[in-house]
Structure 1
């Protein structure tokens, strides 16, 4: 089953999530919301955000590899499927994105 995740999904975060799917979706949202290099003592965590200041067609091409690699590294129970970039209607001129993932079945890692 595929799910859509965005960095804005952190509004209702529960750190002690007992539901496996919700936990994975939360973890992916945290990855997407965290710029790489911004976590002290854990600088490799997060996402290279250099694509956010580029034109839409270039940004999508630049975002695919960093998003896929960050999800593979930091949440191996999820598999990257696709990315959708769009202009945030609530913040004119700001680029936002959602990521489609599939949760790997029976993976207890």
Structure 2
């Protein structure tokens, strides 16, 4: 099985005709860049970033939240690793997620 890496800091256009592995990776990138309550028909979708928490707690909280949301929303994917990088001068946390697609037949 191949391991794929998806970053939250990548800005790009949505490919509405995406299929297969690319569509799955695009779904993960979309989830990482979406805030909770911003999708009208699916309020639970997205992340709820720890805004005022200390960096060490924010990293742990965000990592756990990313794993939970990806495995709930995209069941054909297993999360292998989550790397949270902080950019203290900009006040940002960015995530890079490594995943394995476990069931190619669902894609």
Same fold (TM over 0.5): yes
The aligned residue for residue 27 of structure 1 is: 27
Which of the pair is proportionally richer in helix? 1
Residues 7 and 95, structure 2, Cα contact 8 Å, conserved in 1 = yes
- Aligned equivalent of 1:101: 99
TM-score, normalised relative to structure 1: 0.81
DSSP 3-state at the match of 2:95: strand
- Unaligned regions of 5+ residues in structure 1, if any? none
**Offset at residue 107 of structure 1 (A):** 3.6
Go from structure 1 to structure 2 and tell me whether the alpha carbon gap of 1:24 and 1:53 turns closer, same or farther (over 3 Å shift).
farther
SS at match of 1:8: coil
Cα offset, 1:88, TM superposition: 4.0
- Bigger shift: 23-32 or 53-62? 53-62
The Cα of 1:15 is off from its aligned counterpart by: 1.5
CA contact (8 A) 1:77 1:107 kept: no
Q: What is the alpha-carbon distance in structure 2 between the residues aligned to residue 102 and residue 77 of structure 1?
A: 9
TM, length-normalised to structure 2: 0.82
Q: Gapped runs of 5+ residues in structure 2?
A: none
2:12 is aligned with 1:14: no
CA RMSD of aligned residues (A): 2.1
User: Which structure would you say has the larger RCO, counting Cα contacts within 8 Å and 6 or more residues apart?
Assistant: 2
| Conserved 8 A contact 2:36-2:43 | yes
How many residue pairs get matched? 106
